[in-house]
Structure 1
Amino acid sequence: MKMKMHRCNSCNIYTIKNTCPNCDGDLNVIYPPKYSIEDKYGKYRRKLKEEALNGENFNE
């Protein structure tokens, strides 16, 4: 039996069960992003991570 990580659509918790343990809601299977040497969005992810670590507020 393969176990896959799931995320609840309504309460956004992660589980390996077939139904959400909190709300019995629908679950989506979580897949990691594909690895690519030519990472088109790496620059933006690194910038976002740096801003998050510095505590900057991006909603302004």
Structure 2
Amino acid sequence: MRQLKRCPKCREYTLKVTCPKCKVRTEQAAPPKFSPEDRWGKYRRKLEQMSGVK
């Protein structure tokens, strides 16, 4: 199954590795799946706290 991707420059959605509109490499559009055994959650929350992201 192919994953939906998004261009960080023009914010267009596509299934391709590069954006057909502006030729920039796309990134995954969906957030990572939730896991109760989140190995990196402690570090991610600390980083979010330090950067002020909610």
Q: What TM-score bracket applies, with the shorter chain setting the length?
A: 0.5 to 0.7
Aligned equivalents of 2:35, 2:47: Cα separation in 1: 19
1:15 maps to what in 2?
A: 12
Aligned equivalents of 2:48, 2:39: Cα separation in 1: 16
Residue 27 of structure 1: how far off its partner (Å):
3.6
Residue 26 of structure 1: how far off its partner (Å):
4.6
Calculate the TM-score normalised by the size of structure 1: 0.49
Residue 5 of structure 1: how far off its partner (Å):
4.0
Gaps of 5+ in 2: none
SS at match of 2:37: coil
- Report the aligned-residue RMSD: 2.6
Q: Work out the number of aligned pairs and report it.
A: 45
- Distance change >3 Å, CA 16–CA 40, structure 1 → 2: same
Give every structure 1 segment of 4 or more consecutive aligned residues whose post-TM-superposition deviation is greater than 4 Å.
none
